[in-house]
Amino acid sequence: MLEKNHIISRTLMIGAIVLLFSTLFSANTSSAAIVWQDDFNDGNYNGWSVYAGDFGITSNQLIATGSGGIWSFIRYPSNTAYGYWSFDVLSEDAPQNHTYVYIISPDTVTNYRLCIWTGSYAGWATGPGVSLLKQSGGSTVSIADWFTGSLSGLHSYNVTRDSQGSFNIYVDGTLRITVLDNDITTSIYFRFGAQENSGIDNVVVGDFSSTGTGTGTSTPPPPIPGFPLFAILLAVPLALSLAIVIRRRKKH
């Protein structure tokens, strides 16, 4: 009977350990595959094309260097329209300053873009925050807004879009915008637009399908995954408790 209990205890402990390790190693994986990325640590922005203003690399970040309030724009070939986009944006704090990250652009006019506001801007926003804008058919509309405290300085942004067109936008690891829009279905560019001293870094673009066609339905986990974290909290004490039970039974 004692040997049977030992077998059961060992089996449960092994199961808990397997749960723990599978959670640790699978928490940040899905069918989403990285299509392209750039952290600018090589000191250049090869593959990017400047089509207005000027850019340079400062402290391994892509920085707009156009002076006198001039806007600078740069783009990178990107066919991902359903997937995920992760990047850090350095924004200057000024009353009317804002930066644009065009995550999906099927041409030079049509796009979905994340607008990061560091101050108020007449006609568009009433305070600092983030907007998801859509430009289609010659007009630009805000399809979602979130306003909060200052977003000046360096902040992390994560955007996901599933095959149904549902956007989730995280700011510094916190979900801030959820909106459904499936008007624009293709892309050829990822673009960045900013005024002097604002920049972008650690760009990672992934697709939800292994073929890069954007037809998958799985969603990569948010920066702080809920279920894996819960599983870890459950598995660790379970494994420890079982280990203590086994040790006590061995003493008897």
What is the per-residue pLDDT across 162-179, written as a single tens digit (0 to 9) for each?
A: 999 999 999 999 999 999
Q: Note the pLDDT of residue 67.
A: 81
Beta bridge partners of 104: 112
Please state, as a whole number, how many other Cβ atoms lie within 10 Å of the Cβ of residue 35. 17
Please state, as a whole number, how many other Cβ atoms lie within 10 Å of the Cβ of residue 30. 15
Q: Which residue has the higher pLDDT, 225 or 174?
A: 174
Please determine, for residue 27, whether its predicted confidence score (pLDDT) is greater than 60.
no
Closest CA to 115 of 132, 135, 128: 132
Please determine, for residue 92, whether its predicted confidence score (pLDDT) is greater than 90.
no
Q: What is the pTM of this model?
A: 0.71
Please determine, for residue 58, whether its predicted confidence score (pLDDT) is greater than 80.
yes
Closest CA to 172 of 193, 145, 153: 153
Query: What is the distance of C-alpha 218 from the center of its chain?
Result: 15
Of 3.20.190.10, 1.10.357.10, 3.10.180.10, 2.60.120.560, the CATH number of 30-221 is: 2.60.120.560
Question: Alpha helix locations (H) across 27-138?
Answer: none
Q: Which residue has the higher pLDDT, 24 or 123?
A: 123
The span from the CA of 155 to the CA of 89, in Å, is 6
The span from the CA of 82 to the CA of 167, in Å, is 9
Name the pLDDT band for 246 (thresholds 50, 70, 90). low
Q: Note the pLDDT of residue 176.
A: 93
Contact between 5 and 249 (Cβ < 8 Å): yes
